Structure 1
């Protein structure tokens, strides 16, 4: 384990008695609430200095959603564990400039809101959404409010991301879960090619998270993951690579401690300064935590 406290940039907490999450209904692992107390328990021996909450795909619909309600819920969680220092909610960026009043309310009334994630991976037509003029306008609007954008896709959609990032020149962005590479499919060559191109955009960082879930869940080995970890660092370097735990999604394939142990062994050759960047300092800067 790292010899210093780390920042976890990808925490989920949810409660089906407070908000509706149709995507989790009937799921054996996710079909019940997860609170910050569960996270604290499942961190085991990890020393976590701060956490960043990421939106949990709470139900939304044309013209509305549970965007502000989710923020309020997480703020209550943070009252019980003030290590939750930042919130990255969902917002309907596909509204284009019409999303500005909602973003203004988020920033003015909820100062821990640092960025926006709008999951396109599960959209009916990810390409049409992501490359639409209104969505591009909505993402670029984040710059007016000092917010960043988090990209959530899987490896079959990376060609969309390649085109998308060219349209977002100034807003800071981060690619969640390394773009969910096709580890189970053995798509390493594609992964390397995708990252080599994406890394050319200086406003894009990458979140080193969730790789066991993208492998064969319970049958993965460290040898399966290592080439993808190496390729991430080769393309983005220690300056733009940021650790994330992705609790409780990670529990499909590993534990919080187990994922960090894998990374520790993969990063053995790095200096303590470099490790601090990946596990803490880059996150502190990107999410403007002021720690």
Structure 2
């Protein structure tokens, strides 16, 4: 299966999507399944994983509704306040949603120690007991805290979004590699090859700028724990879907057929429990 492990849908609202600043005007509009489906078909991609972009229960319901209506959405990563005393009730609300496979919070916008709170860890444990995955969305400067976090939940299935957002624009990678390594040593942690061009210079990035980061991800996680993700439509800030796909297609050409197929979809399908 060829599966895009990471993309978003939204009906643009300036207040709800305040993170989409004026230098991101290209994505200040609606992006829905009918916009993405022709792109998936053109590139023979069988489906996608819709990931939350807004922190609200309403967002989770919105994505689940889209997934019911559109066959190409194979899985949903929703949102819930993991530290809330109402978490069980919120999770129960979506228990019948078969395509809802995991959850995510926008940890990159939170204090570094936010994920280490006992309430948050308690929430992660509740996700694990229900069989949900968890996407870790952080910046590179949160990697040390993320290591402490995952140590507290060794039974949880984790995937690091966007290779933990290293500073590609400035070409800084050695410290990022050093801090990613102990996370990669844990076989319950996966990593998405996504969101890379938007961490580079939006107007002037080259494939060469990205190469060392892809090489490090492959070295640390191996081909069996990496997943292709477009981060569409956010990727449009720096390039088109086709460019993101081509980067990963070319990068994986060095691998065996099985390894390439894993990165291009099979690993994500297994991680999120997607079936054809």
Per the shorter chain, which TM-score range?
over 0.9
How big is each residue's C-alpha offset from its partner over 1:4-27, in whole Å with a ceiling of 9 and x where there is no partner? x6101112000146x933333755
User: CA shift at 1:161, angstroms?
Assistant: 1.1
- Any idea what SS the aligned residue of 2:127 has? helix
1:50 maps to which of 47, 52, 69: 47
User: CA shift at 1:31, angstroms?
Assistant: 2.4
Return the alpha-carbon distance in structure 2 between the equivalents of residues 32 and 244 of structure 1.
21
Q: Which runs of 5+ in 1 are unaligned?
A: 59-65
Q: Give yes or no for contact 1:99–1:138 (8 Å, CA) kept in 2.
A: yes
Q: Give yes or no for contact 2:5–2:265 (8 Å, CA) kept in 1.
A: no
1:38 corresponding residue in structure 2 = 35
Return the alpha-carbon distance in structure 2 between the equivalents of residues 194 and 25 of structure 1.
30
CA RMSD between the two structures: 2.0
The number of residues matched between the two structures is: 275
1:113 corresponding residue in structure 2 = 100
1:21 corresponding residue in structure 2 = 17
User: CA shift at 1:207, angstroms?
Assistant: 0.6
1:100 corresponding residue in structure 2 = 88
TM score, norm. by length of structure 1: 0.88
User: CA shift at 1:43, angstroms?
Assistant: 4.8
Task: Spell out the pairing of 1:1-291 with structure 2 (5 A cutoff).
Answer: 6-16=2-12, 20-24=16-20, 27-43=24-40, 45-58=42-55, 66-67=56-57, 69-95=58-84, 98-107=86-95, 109-123=96-110, 126-291=111-276
Q: Give yes or no for contact 1:86–1:114 (8 Å, CA) kept in 2.
A: yes
User: CA shift at 1:72, angstroms?
Assistant: 3.1
User: CA shift at 1:287, angstroms?
Assistant: 0.4
User: CA shift at 1:235, angstroms?
Assistant: 0.6
Q: Which runs of 5+ in 2 are unaligned?
A: none
Return the alpha-carbon distance in structure 1 between the equivalents of residues 121 and 52 of structure 2.
20
Return the alpha-carbon distance in structure 2 between the equivalents of residues 83 and 279 of structure 1.
16
TM score, norm. by length of structure 2: 0.93
Return the alpha-carbon distance in structure 2 between the equivalents of residues 143 and 284 of structure 1.
18
